[in-house]
Amino acid sequence: MTGRSTLRITDLRDSDSAQYRFKFKTYWSEWQSGLPGTTLTVTDAPRVPTVWVSPPGDIMKNSSVTLSCSSDANPPAVYTWYKNNQSLLRKEPQLVFSSIQSSDSGQYYCTAENDLGRRTSNFIFINVKYGPQTSTLSVSPSGEIVEGSSVTLTCSSDANPAADYTWYKENQTLLQGPEDIYNFSSIRSEDRGFYQCKSENQYGQISSEPLFLDVQYTPKLPSVSVSPSAEIKEGSSVTLTCSSDANPAANYTWYKEDEDSAKASGQIFIITNIRAEHSGSYYCEAQNSRGRTNSTFHLTVVPGALKSAAAGTVTAALLALMLLAVFLWIRRKKSRTAGERPDSRAQLNVGPVYDTPSAAAQRRPAEQQDDLHYASICLSPQNAEAVYCNVGRVQPQRGTEEDEEEEDGVDYSVVRFDKGSSAAGTRIQEDGEDPCALYSAVNKKL
């Protein structure tokens, strides 16, 4: 009795490797060969490797990290590590970082290889995280910054994840957010100052060093101050000060209108022993390398104390003389109406009063002087600008009685101003007509 027995293995695996023996068995008996069995060895190319990282979770800078690669292969596989498609020349199933750095971030994978083949793992991304390492503030353009130009500040920071930024000027917050630039489309003089930026993420923060932004601009409209600020009197000293906001600092020049040449230079202009001719319009010019501006003001010089007093005295004297002339005319009219002769004289005193008839009156006969009325006004002898005034009825010297009768209806007033009397109560007397005499006539209706 003959026969054949066959063992067929499909989908052969490495686990099918073993020693196989034949055994024959019937209903009545069993036979087993004493010969050694047949040994089956299954060989296989490596399976696709698996890669994992330990410890799991965020990978922080300076921490210890291990990458592992594993593949089912027979014979056992040899492993090689790669970063960003560059071989690391390491032949171990594990890649160990004892203190991982930001430069170690990247894509990693491994290969498993034996005599029957080579397989490559999937990629794994290593992302090393850390707080901001630096924060540097820069400005563009880097040269001189002129008012009205465009300027950009940039804050540079090394951080993972990317930092958010806070912008400051003079410790005052300007802006917060992801923007690492701060832009001035048209920078102004008010933007001049110290700037700073802060870089921050969930792992830390750091601030830049302060950066001074120097904005240059044309001098602003100058302001002028005058000292003393009250009335400027002749003979006094006046200080003019000009100031202007400018960068670079301004130089100052003083001018008087309608004059070509400068009066002075410098921020302060002092006029000593000021006089009336110093009155007028002036302007101060502020100038730097970026331009120039000027400001106009008016200076008024008033007379000194002595001249003011003298002018006031003359005005008062003239007013008094006018009143006196009217008073004398009315009194004379009443006197003639009553058939009485007028009083020999009437006086109006301002300070000491001195009665002194004019030289022409002294030469007339006594009867002609009966109707004359004299009044003298003079100032205190302490006044250096003493003014003496003489008022009286003056009869022009006529040759005939007819002429005198024609003048009978006219009153004359004489005003004389004598300056510089040498003694109190003394008036300069001259023969003949007084060249300083002023005559006014008051017509009477009889």
Position 17 scores a pLDDT of 67
109-131 pLDDT tens trace: 999 999 888 999 999 999 999 99
Is residue 332 very low, low, confident or very high in pLDDT (cuts 50, 70, 90)?
confident
Kindly state the tokens that stand for 419.
């300056």
Position 163 scores a pLDDT of 96
Kindly state the tokens that stand for 263.
């009066």
**70 pLDDT more than 80:** yes
Strands (E) in 143-300, as ranges, are 145-146, 151-157, 164-169, 172-177, 181-184, 193-201, 204-207, 211-213, 215-216, 223-227, 232-233, 238-243, 251-256, 264-265, 268-271, 280-288, 291-299
Is the model more confident about 53 or about 19? 53
Position 31 scores a pLDDT of 59
Total-model pTM: 0.54
234-291 pLDDT tens trace: 999 999 999 999 999 999 999 998 888 999 999 999 999 999 999 999 999 999 999 9
Is residue 25 very low, low, confident or very high in pLDDT (cuts 50, 70, 90)?
low
Write out the DSSP string of 301-351: EE--HHHHHHHHHHHHHHHHHHHHHHHHHHHHHHHHHTT-PPPS-----SS
Is residue 16 very low, low, confident or very high in pLDDT (cuts 50, 70, 90)?
low
- Percent of the chain at pLDDT > 70 equals 62
Cβ(267)–Cβ(241) below 8 Å = yes
Closest by CA to 366, choosing from 344, 346, 348, 347, is: 344
Cβ(212)–Cβ(194) below 8 Å = yes
Cβ(61)–Cβ(102) below 8 Å = yes
Position 181 scores a pLDDT of 95
Neighbours of 284 (CB within 10 A): 25
Lowest pLDDT segment from 67-71, 208-212, 313-317, 325-329: 313-317
Is the dihedral angle over the CA atoms 167, 170, 171, 172 positive or is it negative?
A: negative
Q: Give the largest Cα separation in the chain, rounded.
A: 210
**346 pLDDT more than 80:** no
Position 22 scores a pLDDT of 63
**79 pLDDT more than 50:** yes
Position 405 scores a pLDDT of 45
Kindly state the tokens that stand for 400.
């005939």
Position 372 scores a pLDDT of 47
Amino acid (one-letter) located at 204 = G
Kindly state the tokens that stand for 240.
């003019």
Strands (E) in 2-131, as ranges, are 18-20, 23-25, 30-32, 38-40, 50-54, 59-60, 65-70, 78-83, 86-87, 94-97, 106-114, 117-120, 124-126, 128-129
Position 130 scores a pLDDT of 96
- Domains, the chain, ranges and CATH? 1-129 (2.60.40.10), 135-216 (2.60.40.10), 223-302 (2.60.40.10), 307-443 (no CATH)
Position 91 scores a pLDDT of 81
Lowest pLDDT segment from 171-175, 188-192, 212-216, 369-373: 369-373
Is the dihedral angle over the CA atoms 407, 446, 361, 363 positive or is it negative?
A: positive
Distances (CA, A) of 183 to 140, 152, 189, 194: 10, 4, 15, 15
387-402 pLDDT tens trace: 444 444 444 444 444 4
Q: Which of 72-86, 116-130, 337-351, 380-394 has the highest mean pLDDT?
A: 116-130
Could you tell me which residues are beta bridge partners of residue 128?
59
Return the SS3 of 443.
strand
- The rounded Cα 194 to chain-centroid distance in angstroms is 14
Find the distance separating the first CA and the last CA of the chain, reported in whole Å.
200
Q: In a 10 Å sphere around its CB, with 0-12 CB exposed, 13-18 middle and 19+ buried, how is residue 246 labelled?
A: buried
Neighbours of 5 (CB within 10 A): 7
Closest by CA to 322, choosing from 157, 152, 230, 441, is: 441
Q: Is the peptide bond before 248 cis (omega within 30 degrees of 0)?
A: yes
Is residue 385 very low, low, confident or very high in pLDDT (cuts 50, 70, 90)?
very low
